[in-house]
Amino acid sequence: MTTMLTVKLDQGLLIREDVTEIEREYLGGLGVNTRLLYDLVPQGCDPLGPENLLVFGVGSLVGTMLPTACRTEVTAKSPLSGRFGSANGGGSFGPYLRFAGFSYLAFHGISPSPVMLIIEDGEARLESAEDLWGLDVWEATDRIREKLGEDVQVAAIGPAGENLVRYASIQNNYFASWGRTGMGAVMGSKKLKAIVVRGSGQVDVADRKSFLAIRKEAFERVKNDPSYGFMNRYGSMVVADPFNTMNAVPGRNFTIGAYADWEETRGRKVFEKRYKEADVACFACPIACAHWSRVKEEGPHFGLETRGLEVTFVMEFGAKLELTSIPEIFRCTDICNHHGMDVISAAGSVAFLIDAFDRGLISEEAIGFAPRWGDFETVSRLLEQIARREGIGNLLAEGSMRAGRSVPGAERLAMHVKGVEMPVKDPRPKCDTFTFGYLTSTRGGDSLRTRSPVESVLKGMKDYSTEPLDVDAGYIEKLDMPMRLKKEIFGDPPQGVNLPRVACYAENLITIINSVGFCIRPPVLRSLGPDFYARAMQAVTGRDYTEESVYQAAEAIWELQHQFNLREGETTADFCYPDRFYEESLPGTDGRMVPPLTRSEIETNVREYFTARGWKFNE
């Protein structure tokens, strides 16, 4: 039986429910969360009101010791976009929640006072968290562990969640987070400070013999993928230097595409040589793409230890806000982790403000000081103000879309899609699957739900709708993808990569991954596909799955998310980049100017994407 704990916060009630049949149809994790959100959240409800639902869904393969199977999806109506909201986190929280006997937690209503949910080996209780309210995440986690033991897993919010910052995160212990779309604000609105988990059980496997063979196969495929060594060495930083080389970093709020001193100041090798101390892995992960780092040189940040550096951190603080010091980037990231705040939306909102200030659209008097690109003192001060909604931070806590509408003449400087700030990479040098995903993702301007398993980082596009094929025909033949889709995406014989159709496939594949609880790092994304997940699901659950049934379930999950957004007012006009990308060229370091995107070409791709999805494109 698959068990969900329903928590009625307004009444203090805890109810166990059997969701086995929902999980059978919707795979698990993200899929079950999507079904629950669509069914139980009324159209037009306030994301920060009692009618919104907050669901934690552990992937259905989590805790089995399959490689990277540790991830949990958190889902609610987003207070940032007003549409489908969801975030994914790894670490050990999900496995231990399953070991404690629960695969899903669904929170309804609003508690009359701050509480925390404590789950220990099948038993659950609500306790007062009034003594924790107002503490940052690390302080609260420390106090919880002092009381309950160092072995508990903690999901908690900080001041940003308590103060309903629209992009507040839920922190997964200290350094990881469920970051995007404001799930921490929803948790804060419910007066839920923390969820504490201790579990000592196990996940039963239906067919042990088949499972062991599949587990061995999975580890071999992941470790043998060409991307494995680079990901272990650099983690996500592997793409930091290539993005700068191709003039695609989001410098100064997407107005500068590259920096001449990038590799010497913020590049992957300087990080590895000067700060990286050890590799860090999530539960059951052979990749160990995270790193423990320490600042060894004298200065204001000497001795700082933290987890990182991630490409997100260096692109958001090191490019978008132009901090050139890795220790300063570490510190800004830690501010976000302490306060429980999404790095991408926080940096994007600060970048909007500095851009508007530079253009004379908001005054120093209105801000309280003069913010500057590359100035750690003003950037860190703004991050603190956002978390506490103090001064100008109250405006920025609303996100760049709302802030842009509040500052006369500044709306075009808010770099978001569907209310969600875009991360990491500028689409003008190469509008590929990664950046096309900003438009098509059901959770707004984000790339983590649309990643091609045949992604070519540095090669350009053949044209707006076709990526060059960066692998040989033998690779395509072995690729774990339904044959009919290979022909649609690559041609027969393979000739290129159809962008709109590979975007559909990538979204469906990642939907499967987020439902079963695997990671989307390249060694997994490239080596494991629908056939593998069908066989793994069948071995673990004993239910009948096929490559096609798993893929069709993913399509149904994505369709539900799309329908949720449509009933909340989304239109085809929302599938559009900010005007800056269509109207401004992008300067790089070599004197080249990257031309703006062509609206008609992007719209053609969106239309073809709609066709591939079976959706109607309304004018």
Q: Is-cis flag, bond preceding 458, omega within 30? A: no
Query: 234-256: buried (b, 16+ CB within 10 Å) or exposed (e) per residue?
Result: bbbbbbbbebbbbbbbbbbbbbb
Higher pLDDT, 298 or 485: 485
Reply yes or no on whether the pLDDT at 204 is more than 90. Answer: yes
**pLDDT tens-digit readout, 525-546:** 999 999 999 999 999 999 999 9
Instruction: Give the model's confidence band at 20: pLDDT under 50 very low, under 70 low, under 90 confident, else very high.
Output: very high
Domain 433-613: give its CATH code. Answer: 1.10.599.10
Q: What is the pLDDT of residue 591?
A: 77
Q: Are 75 and 39 in contact (CB under 8 A)?
A: no
Query: Is the per-residue pLDDT at 285 higher than 80?
Result: yes
d(Cα 558, Cα 575) in Å, to the nearest integer?
16
Closest listed residue to residue 412, CA positions, set 604, 576, 589, 556: 576
Beta sheet of 123-128, edge-to-edge order:
123-128, 115-120, 192-198, 153-156, 170-172, 176-178
Stretch 311-335: mean pLDDT: 96
AA identity, residue 270: V
**pLDDT higher than threshold 80 for residue 600:** yes
Check whether domain 3-198 has CATH 3.30.1010.10, yes or no: no
Parallel, antiparallel or unpaired: strands 305-307 and 290-294 = antiparallel
DSSP character at residue 200: -
What's the residue count for the chain?
Answer: 619
Residue-wise pLDDT for 542-596, tens only, equals 999 999 999 999 999 999 999 999 999 999 999 999 999 999 999 877 778 999 9
Q: At what angle do helices 530-541 and 208-224 cross, to 10 degrees?
A: 150
What span, in angstroms and rounded, lies between the C-alpha atoms of 299 and 107?
A: 45
- Provide the sign of the torsion angle of the four alpha carbons 435, 440, 444, 448, taken in this order: negative
CA dist., res. 153 & res. 89, Å (int)? 13
Residues 100, 152 contacting (CB under 8 angstroms): no
pLDDT band at 512 (very low <50, low <70, confident <90, very high): very high
- The rounded distance, in Å, linking the Cα atoms of 426 and 458 is 13
Q: Where are the domains of the chain?
A: 3-198, 232-414, 433-613
Pick the CATH number of 232-414 from 1.10.569.10, 3.40.50.880, 3.40.50.300, 1.10.390.10: 1.10.569.10
Q: In which band, very low, low, confident or very high, does the pLDDT at 508 lie, cut at 50, 70 and 90?
A: very high
CB 459 within 8 A of CB 470: yes
The pLDDT value given to residue 354: 98
The pLDDT value given to residue 163 = 98
518 contacts 64 by C-beta, under 8 angstroms: no
What's the rounded mean pLDDT across residues 150-179? Answer: 97
And the tokens for 332? Answer: 């800004």
The predicted pLDDT at position 541 comes to 96
Tens-digit pLDDT profile for residues 244-268: 999 999 999 999 999 999 999 999 9
- Arithmetic mean of pLDDT over the chain: 95
Mean pLDDT of 317-344: 97
pLDDT, tens digit, 9 for 90 and up, residues 452-484: 999 888 888 889 999 998 888 888 999 999 999
- Here the tokens at position 284 are 């059951």
User: Stretch 186-193: mean pLDDT, rounded?
Assistant: 98
Where do we find the tokens 């596009």?
461
Predicted local confidence at residue 230, as pLDDT:
87
